[in-house]
Amino acid sequence: MKKQLIILILIISSFTSYSQRIVNGSDACITDFPWQIALESKNDMMQPEWKQSCGGTIIHESWILTAAHCVFQLDTMAMGTWEFRIRAGIELLSSTGGQTINVDEEYLHPQFDMMVTNEDYDIALLHLETPLTIDNNSTKIISIVTQQDSIDGVTDPGVMGTLSGWGCTDTAGTVFTDRLQYLEAPIYSLTDANQPSMWDGELEGMHLPIMPTNTAGVCFGDSGGPYVVFNQDSSAYLLAGLMSFIQATYCGDTNYADILTRVSVFESWIDSVMGVYTDIPKRNQSYINCYPNPVSGRLIIETLLNTNENIMIKITNTLGHPVYIAEYSGIDNKIEIDMSEFKNGIYILNIITSQHSYSERIIKQ
């Protein structure tokens, strides 16, 4: 019954001006949380104007990490076409400043299925149409908690972390705020959170429970937003969790832990979707990026070489026999290669210019 109620609340939140938000938090400055973005959505039939629906985190100038249910429910459970964009570098939703960039690709974890259980594999990567300008003041990339960081104890029970997001300040989810909010809350033991009086064995290792106090916590609309902790030497913040789901009765229920997606569990998946960044020095912001890897249908190659020289793309099998060869203009900064007819297996991608030669293993599956 809990799962049904949680699904209902999250579906409702996606079609209104609110979804999960922080209850009883404090006003935040974006320079304290520069990795935070607002995820906005619109639908040509149901919601023609952009509205903030979720949060997210900058983990690369072209990539945002958020919750899968933030884009799944909007993209597949409504009529019309849903579009997404992010707003970075703002603390007031009403602000006209910051950076606003459209999302051109959404990558949900392949095992996420909201119609079966909305609690598992609740993670998605959003690729931006153009890269963010990172000024390390109001916009900043944050590293994720890796599996090694987790082993080193940065997400052990009792560790204090901070979550951030926009929205309601009451448990009923009716009082809205324009300003970014933050709240400190400790990580809770997974074993204790799974007790019959709480989540009754529903949680797994991919879940990160936190236990806010004093009727505070996550509520409708903070979904996908960041929960950060210090690294081992307390010199920098790391992204530990994405706000995922709550107990279904009301927000800020201190009898239940709020549940996040544990980012470290998905380190390999994040790396594979973001693909492979070359070792070409970023002089004048030059780069070549290939994603996703593994690939099932389309391989996307992004280039920014500040040159009009041609780019040779050659894909070979492991024996060195070419299976794809094409030449592209250097001004084509986004190349899509159809690999749907390729047999499953390992291939070698070669990218050749007059100044650079780069090879990387890609997997078709």
For each of the domains in the chain, give its residue range(s) and CATH number, in order of start.
Answer: 2-267 (2.40.10.10), 275-364 (2.60.40.3080)
8-state DSSP, 120: S
User: Would you state the pLDDT for residue 241?
Assistant: 96
Q: Are 298 and 245 in contact (CB under 8 A)?
A: no
Q: Are 119 and 207 in contact (CB under 8 A)?
A: yes
The Cα 225–Cα 223 span in angstroms is 5
Split at pLDDT 50, 70, 90, the class of 217 is: low
Least confident of 3-7, 80-84, 219-223, 243-247: 3-7
Joined together, the tokens standing for residue 279 give: 């070792």
Least confident of 21-30, 193-202, 315-324: 21-30
User: Would you state the pLDDT for residue 3?
Assistant: 38
pTM: 0.81
Mean pLDDT throughout 244-253? 70
Whether 10 shows a pLDDT value over 50: the answer reads no
Give the pairing of strands 322-328 and 334-338: unpaired
Mean pLDDT throughout 192-199? 89
User: Would you state the pLDDT for residue 284?
Assistant: 44
pLDDT digits (tens, 9 = 90+) for 269-322: 998 888 765 444 443 455 677 888 788 888 888 877 656 678 889 999 888 899
The torsion angle over the Cα atoms of residues 107, 110, 115 and 120, rounded to 10 degrees, is -100
Mean pLDDT throughout 182-195? 91
The Cα 80–Cα 182 span in angstroms is 34
User: Would you state the pLDDT for residue 43?
Assistant: 86
Nearest to 214 by CA among 176, 182, 254, 185: 254
User: Would you state the pLDDT for residue 15?
Assistant: 35
Q: Which residue has the higher pLDDT, 332 or 69?
A: 69
User: Would you state the pLDDT for residue 12?
Assistant: 36
Most confident of 35-49, 163-177, 293-307, 326-340: 35-49
Q: Which residue has the higher pLDDT, 312 or 19?
A: 312
